Amino acid sequence: MKSNFSSIKLVAAIALIVCFTMSYAQCDKGNVYGQKGQKSGIAIVKADSNGQHVVPTSALTLPTFKGGNKAMCRYINKTKKYPVNLKNQKISGTTLVQAKVLKDSTLTDIEVVESSGYQEFDDEAVRVVKSFPHMIPSTQSCEAQDMIVQIPVVFNYEDEVAAEKKKAEMEAAKKDILKPITLYFENDRPDPRTRQETTNTEYVGLYNNYMAAKSNYVNNAGKGLTGAQKTNAQQTMESFFNDSIQTGYDRLVKLTKFVVDALKDGQQVEFTISGFASPVGGSDYNKLLSARRIQSVINYMSQAHGGYLAQYINGSRPGLTIHRDPEGQVGSFNTTAVRETVYGLKASKDRKITIHKISIK
């Protein structure tokens, strides 16, 4: 049995040395392996006198960093501080740290078992492992037990330089990303003449249809006007499409990509989406319309990048908080002319949502 435990201990070390996700299902206490409902990790397999496997009676799960090995690697990379002296000399190295994960989830007996050859690396590696949050302990036969693990802490100069560059780029991009974003909608879109507060429509389709209708809005903006007034109204509306509607969409695409990257990096993201409508319909209707407009943007975010954000938006994964604020109509009109209430610049600017109070930590 001693040799079996040694090999198990080796597996634990290897499992933590390699930075990839490895999951073990939870035990169902009291069940015998193989029965319906039994869940297990690594089973200790026995053989009879003929060399045939028999039903094992115990199962082993390895110590696990909360969130898995990817989370552990991410924690190490975010927590470690590259020794300045060694970084200036462009020196890389790896320190192998050993620790015992106790059945109460704490780590003890933390020590270097394989030096990088540089004391600064070794000291920093031990500091990082000592800072670990509680780990999920090993279990055997569904009972928590102590187990020794080995954890490599890698100091790679090229990776460090690349990470610093990426961080600087993200900080520069964040300054622009954190500014409010305004998106615009056609009259009574999405789902015109309905009284639902939600929709299955996503914003990209609405944006494309709006841009395709640009000439119609430009022509109607100048309808009934002549000379310089007509030219000015049409040019103003064309600029609104190019400088506001299109720019807003481009910024939405960048924000969505930035949010995906931030969540993958373990950061917390929070923002508010406020919805507005032009004062054509009644107050109650405009609040419902504003809510649908907010939903259409959230639908886009849920579907973008292969649906990565859907798990955060539906609440199955933490890290993203979206506040909805359907405010309804903006101002009022002194006219009922379609040229103003549908195609006018004021009406066009009123039909919008604003993404603001953006926080990325």
Query: Domains in the chain, please, with CATH?
Result: 2-155 (3.30.2420.10), 165-360 (no CATH)
Average pLDDT, the chain: 84
For range 172-187, the mean pLDDT: 89
Residue predicted with more confidence, 45 or 284: 284
Query: Lowest mean pLDDT: which of 63-67, 108-112, 140-144, 235-239?
Result: 140-144
For range 287-291, the mean pLDDT: 96
Query: Of all residues in the chain, what percent carry a pLDDT higher than 90?
Result: 63
Burial class (CB in 10 A: 0-12, 13-18, 19+), 217: buried
Residue (of 140, 146, 138) closest to 62 by Cα position: 138
For range 267-287, the mean pLDDT: 91
Element (H, E) at 107: strand 107-114
State the pLDDT at residue 333: 67
Cα 138 to Cα 123: distance, rounded to the nearest angstrom: 27
Which pLDDT tens digit goes with each residue over 209-252? 999 999 999 999 888 889 999 999 999 999 999 999 999 999 99
Only one residue has tokens 């004391």, namely: 119
Phi-psi region of 135 (alpha: psi -120 to 50; beta: other; left: phi over 0): beta
State the pLDDT at residue 351: 94
CA 318 to chain centre: 9
CA 28 to chain centre: 32
Inter-CA distances, 254 with 86, 171, 301, 349, Å: 37, 14, 11, 22
Cα 329 to Cα 188: distance, rounded to the nearest angstrom: 12
Which pLDDT tens digit goes with each residue over 318-354? 999 999 999 988 777 666 777 788 888 999 999 999 9
State the pLDDT at residue 6: 43
For range 39-58, the mean pLDDT: 55
Which pLDDT tens digit goes with each residue over 72-97? 998 999 899 999 999 999 999 999 99
Residue 291 has pLDDT above 90, yes or no: yes
Query: What DSSP state is assigned to residue 334?
Result: S
| Pairing relationship of beta strands 46-47 and 352-360 according to DSSP bridges | unpaired
Q: What share of the chain is helix, strand, coil (3-state, %, to 5)?
A: 45, 20, 35
For range 246-273, the mean pLDDT: 94
| Pairing relationship of beta strands 138-140 and 59-61 according to DSSP bridges | antiparallel
State the pLDDT at residue 166: 83
Backbone dihedral angles phi then psi of residue 41, each to the nearest 5 degrees = -100, -120
State the pLDDT at residue 99: 94
Query: Lowest mean pLDDT: which of 5-14, 169-178, 266-275?
Result: 5-14
Residue predicted with more confidence, 169 or 114: 114
Reduced to 3 states (helix: H, G, I; strand: E, B; else coil), residue 135 is coil
Residue 4 has pLDDT above 70, yes or no: no
Residue type, 109: D
Cβ atoms 111, 126 nearer than 8 A: yes
